[in-house]
Structure 1
Amino acid sequence: MANSVADTKRVILVDDEAAAITNLRAVLDGFDALEVVAEVRDGETAIQEIIRLRPDIVFLDIEMPGVNGFEVARETAHLNYQLVFVTAYSQYALDAFGTNAIDYLLKPVRPSLLEKCVRKMLFQEGLVLEALEKKSNAGENLVLSDGKATRVLNREQICYIEGIGRYRRVHLDSNGAQIHKMTTIVSDTTLDEFEAQLSSPTFIRLHRSYIVNLAKAVSLSSEDRRHFIKLLDTDVLIPISRARVTEVKRLLGS
């Protein structure tokens, strides 16, 4: 099915190497959901164009003459766009994720990795999630007990639910899409009860102690054969049991 104009994500490419931009476009032009609105060769112009064009996605080189990629990211951090660093230098990875970049691609960029990155972003923006949600007949609210009273929450607020001993912590997005402003409610409702209420493709039991809202997920990572989901705009990593890794990759388009 073709994407509507409203679904199209505006993209800016920033790199001082023309060949690098050409390689990115060779893959990105294959996605109907993306529209490259600017190609920029230096950091100073990148800041101006990001502010002027208000893109949804920016692919950003790090080492450029004059203003570097990190400075561009800092100067435009107040704008709501998804950031992907594309660089030949692996040593910047930790600094890059400190800027809330959702991915870090090393040059020469493998087309398969770039495609995975794009699918992940489109999922996060809801282009894939919309189709998943149509399959769900579940209600909009979640009912939980905190031991003293019964509370009703909008399920869209839920980032993840964590089981700790006899209690569960429900981590909520208290300000729309700004997950970094999470609040927490302690509940005695069991994870099994939560899972039954949240019967939906957007919520998944990643681990015996965690249920996560995939709409808040931004990327998969792995370390020492352990797999995690990273939540948008946070440093939170949710562990994934080995039995669920394949399913999670499928849902996230990884």
Structure 2
Amino acid sequence: MHDKVSAKTVMIIDDEPAARSNLREVIESFPELTIIAEIGDGKSAIEAINQHKPDIVFLDIEMPEIRGFDVARATSHINYQLVFVTAHEHYALDAFETNAIDYLLKPARPSLLEKCINKILHQEEIALEALQKQKTPSHNLVLSDGNALRVLEQRHVTYIEGIGRYRRIHLTQEGTELNRMSTIISGTTLDEFEVQLPKLDFVRLHRSYIVNSNYITMLSAESRRYYVSLKGFGIKIPVSREKVAELKQRFQ
């Protein structure tokens, strides 16, 4: 039996009534959650968050006049769990900058929304379990994803690239379908990834790249620099000079 007194308070902020309805239907199925407001514009959202200080906010990004990112920045002094729900995948890096706990693409499937809510409700248990998995041999990859830990199957990773202070994990087609996004932004360092990933399958080709060797199709030289091509990706990834001999030996 769940105690409604200790229920977490939730706000839904989206200018589309249908999107709010979809979120409401799933959220209301959790006795641990209480929806205290549904808001359709950024200005009212900022006022309501400041006034009511919710525990969880489901926030659209593209809204008239004041966007979701502006709402998040204007209320960053309030401690709430932020989940972006948007139709635009390319906002993932900006979303990570706001410390959002999750990033869902519209239309948000009920199963993914339920998984997101369970992650929020059971953060401590999930984090402890993920950290325990790091200590034992595993086929999973544990990464920092905003304020939470995310667990991916290693085989769903094609390559990881460093982009400034963050890393971008590029997923296989199967990984993309499961996670509903083709890339995931993480604060986990490449050195930390390198420790987790098996050296038989993954190789650190460059200070900014780790590659799943199963996807390497070609090693080529251009202007005295070496690059690898990856199956299914129209990209050439640089190979540092000290890694060229190792790579050649690997594929002999």
Normalised by the length of structure 1, the TM-score is 0.56
- Distance across 2 between alignment mates of 1:74 and 1:66: 15
For residue 148 of structure 2, the aligned residue among 191, 194, 218 is 218
- Mark the structure with the bigger radius of gyration: 2
Aligned equivalent of 1:93:
92
Offset, 1:202: 8.3
Structure 2 vs 1, CA of residues 209 and 121 (structure 1 numbering), >3 Å: closer, same or farther?
Answer: same
- Residues 141-181 of structure 1: CA deviation (Å, up to 9, x unaligned): xxxxxxxxxxxxxxxxxx9xxxxxxxxxxxxxxxxxxxxxx
Letter paired with 1:235: G
Shift of 1:11: 0.3
1:206 matched to which residue of 2? 134
TM-score by length of 2: 0.56
Counterpart residue number, 1:18: 17
* Residue pairs, 1:60-71, within 5 angstroms: 60-71=59-70
Quote the residue 1:55 is aligned against: 54
Are residues 217 and 86 of structure 1, via their aligned partners in 2, closer, same or farther at CA, if it must alter by over 3 Å? Answer: closer
CA offsets 1:117-161 (integer angstroms, 9 cap, x no match): 00000011x5xx4xx9xxxxxxxxxxxxxxxxxxxxxxxxxx9xx
| Equivalent residues of 1:206, 1:241 under 8 A apart | no
Change (3 A) 1:201 1:43: closer
The separation in 2 between residues aligned to 1:36 and 1:58, in whole angstroms, is: 10
Identical amino acids, percent of aligned pairs = 46
- 1:184-223 Cα distance to aligned partner (Å, 9 max, x none): xxxxxxxxxxxxxxxx86851414699x9x9x97131547
Q: Give the Cα–Cα distance (whole angstroms) in 2 for the partners of residues 83 and 65 of structure 1.
A: 20
Inter-partner Cα distance in structure 2 for 1:32 and 1:118: 12
Residue of structure 2 aligned with 1:236, choices 188, 192, 209 = 188
1:202–1:236 CA distance, 2 compared to 1 (3 A): closer
Shift of 1:91: 1.1
Compute the RMSD of aligned alpha carbons: 3.4
Structure 1 residue 4 displacement after superposition: 1.8
Cα deviation for residue 116 of structure 1 reads 0.4
State the one-letter code of the partner of 1:33: E
Q: Specify the code of the residue in structure 2 equivalent to 1:204.
A: Q
Paired residue type of 1:79:
I
Aligned to 1:110: 109
Structure 2 residue aligned with 1:182: none
Gaps of 5+ in 2: 161-166, 168-185, 199-252
**AA paired with 2:107?**
P
One-letter amino acid matched to 1:55: P
Displacement of 1:5 in angstroms is: 3.4
Give the alignment of 1:1-254 within 5 angstroms: 2-124=1-123, 129=125, 204-207=132-135, 218-220=148-150, 222=152, 225-226=156-157, 235-236=187-188, 239=193
Unaligned ranges ≥5, structure 1: 133-158, 160-199, 243-254
Which one scores higher on RCO, CA 8 angstroms, separation ≥ 6? 1
In 2, distance between residues paired with 1:110 and 1:220?
Answer: 18
Contact 2:4–2:31, Cα closer than 8 Å, also in 1: no
Deviations 1:84-118 (A, max 9, x none): 00011111111111110011111111110000000
